[in-house]
């Protein structure tokens, strides 16, 4: 599952790549700060491109929550929701049936731009973090859905059954985030998609030739260690790993 990600691109680069504009200019300095490890369970603020306003980059809270909640209830909600993943990821297979997802899948889809993402590999009962990066572009477009709670947007990253590459790396859960190429990114935000067209995107596969990956430091999984540093993206070679 996709619970950890870096976002190191300047806002201007994202604006140019997606042809959008930051919705709140006062937040530019905040989001211009490179973040090398964002732990989803902190329910951090990330930028998303919402279907309802596809011309903007909007600040959103990582962890989807029901729209009948109030902003002041979110902290308690996330504390309770941690036992089922904190709303960080949503299985695409449940997009049309889950009580929360089905309210967003038609009109509240979003793109989450990230520079890379981390996934765990298990070997001999030990976990080794891997980073996945795009080879050519500087940004991945992750597919997501969101809710609007008063003035707060909450979102989740959609996941799908793992491709052969991801099944080999993420070898316990065998899941992967739903990655969108440029063509599917535009379709994903369209207001004209029928259910059958959305389902086709949900099972689409990203070209693995456009990905690079390698193991990184186990500090990524150490909550008492500051892993929000540039070197967390560096390759680490483990003698007991042959993958």
Q: What is the mean pLDDT of residues 24-53?
A: 98
Nearest CA to 51 out of 203, 187, 226, 179 is that of 187
Distances (CA, A) of 191 to 52, 73, 143, 155, 188: 8, 31, 15, 18, 8
User: Locate tokens 């597919």: which residue?
Assistant: 143
CB 159 within 8 A of CB 142: no
Q: What pLDDT shows up at residue 164?
A: 94
pLDDT digits (tens, 9 = 90+) for 155-191: 999 999 999 999 999 999 999 999 999 999 999 999 9
Q: What is the mean pLDDT of residues 40-54?
A: 98
Measure the CA–CA gap between 116 and 177, rounded to whole angstroms: 11
Query: Is 238 a member of any domain?
Result: no
Q: What is the mean pLDDT of residues 11-30?
A: 98
Residue 86 has pLDDT above 80, yes or no: yes
Residue 23 has pLDDT above 90, yes or no: yes
Q: What pLDDT shows up at residue 136?
A: 85
Q: What pLDDT shows up at residue 138?
A: 84
Measure the CA–CA gap between 237 and 184, rounded to whole angstroms: 35
Average pLDDT, the chain: 96
Q: What is the mean pLDDT of residues 123-132?
A: 96
pLDDT digits (tens, 9 = 90+) for 185-201: 999 999 999 999 999 99
Tokens of 190: 């369209």
Measure the CA–CA gap between 142 and 56, rounded to whole angstroms: 16
Confidence of residue 137 (pLDDT cuts 50, 70, 90): confident
Query: Is 111 a member of any domain?
Result: yes
Query: Is 118 a member of any domain?
Result: yes
Q: What pLDDT shows up at residue 242?
A: 82
Distances (CA, A) of 111 to 29, 63, 210: 21, 14, 19
Q: What pLDDT shows up at residue 221?
A: 93
Q: What pLDDT shows up at residue 159?
A: 98
Q: Could you tell me the CATH number of the domain that includes residue 135?
A: 3.90.1680.10
Query: Is 28 a member of any domain?
Result: yes
Q: What pLDDT shows up at residue 108?
A: 98
Domain count, the chain: 1
Residue 1 has pLDDT above 80, yes or no: no
Share of the chain above pLDDT 70, in %: 100
Residue 99 has pLDDT above 80, yes or no: yes
Domain range for 10 is 4-233
Query: Is 243 a member of any domain?
Result: no
Residue 44 has pLDDT above 80, yes or no: yes
Across-strand partners of 48?
Answer: 58
Query: Is 241 a member of any domain?
Result: no
Query: Is 110 a member of any domain?
Result: yes
Q: What pLDDT shows up at residue 84?
A: 86
Query: Is 43 a member of any domain?
Result: yes
Angle at 153 between CA 30 and CA 40, to 5 degrees: 65
């Amino acid at each position: 599952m996709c619970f950890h990600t870096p976002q190191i691109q300047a806002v201007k680069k994202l604006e140019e790549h997606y042809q959008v504009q930051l919705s709140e200019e006062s937040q530019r300095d905040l989001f211009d700060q490179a973040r090398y490890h964002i732990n989803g369970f902190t329910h951090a603020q990330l930028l998303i491109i919402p279907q309802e306003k596809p011309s903007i980059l909007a600040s959103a809270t990582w962890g989807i929550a029901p729209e009948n909640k109030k902003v002041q209830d979110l902290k308690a909600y996330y504390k309770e929701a941690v036992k089922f993943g904190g709303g960080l990821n949503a299985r695409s297979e449940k997009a049309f049936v889950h009580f929360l997802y089905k309210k967003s899948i038609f009109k509240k889809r979003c793109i989450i731009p990230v520079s890379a993402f981390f996934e765990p590999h298990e070997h001999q009962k030990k976990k080794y973090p891997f980073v996945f990066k795009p080879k050519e572009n500087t940004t991945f477009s992750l597919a997501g859905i969101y809710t609007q709670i008063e003035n707060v947007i909450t979102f989740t990253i959609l996941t799908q059954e793992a491709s052969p590459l991801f099944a080999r790396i993420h070898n316990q859960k065998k899941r992967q985030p739903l990655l969108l190429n440029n063509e599917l990114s535009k379709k994903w935000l369209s207001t004209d998609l029928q259910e059958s067209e959305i389902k086709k995107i949900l099972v689409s596969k990203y070209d693995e030739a456009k990905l690079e990956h390698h193991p990184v430091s186990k500090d990524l999984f150490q909550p008492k260690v500051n892993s929000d540093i540039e070197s967390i993206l560096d390759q680490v070679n483990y003698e007991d790993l042959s993958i």
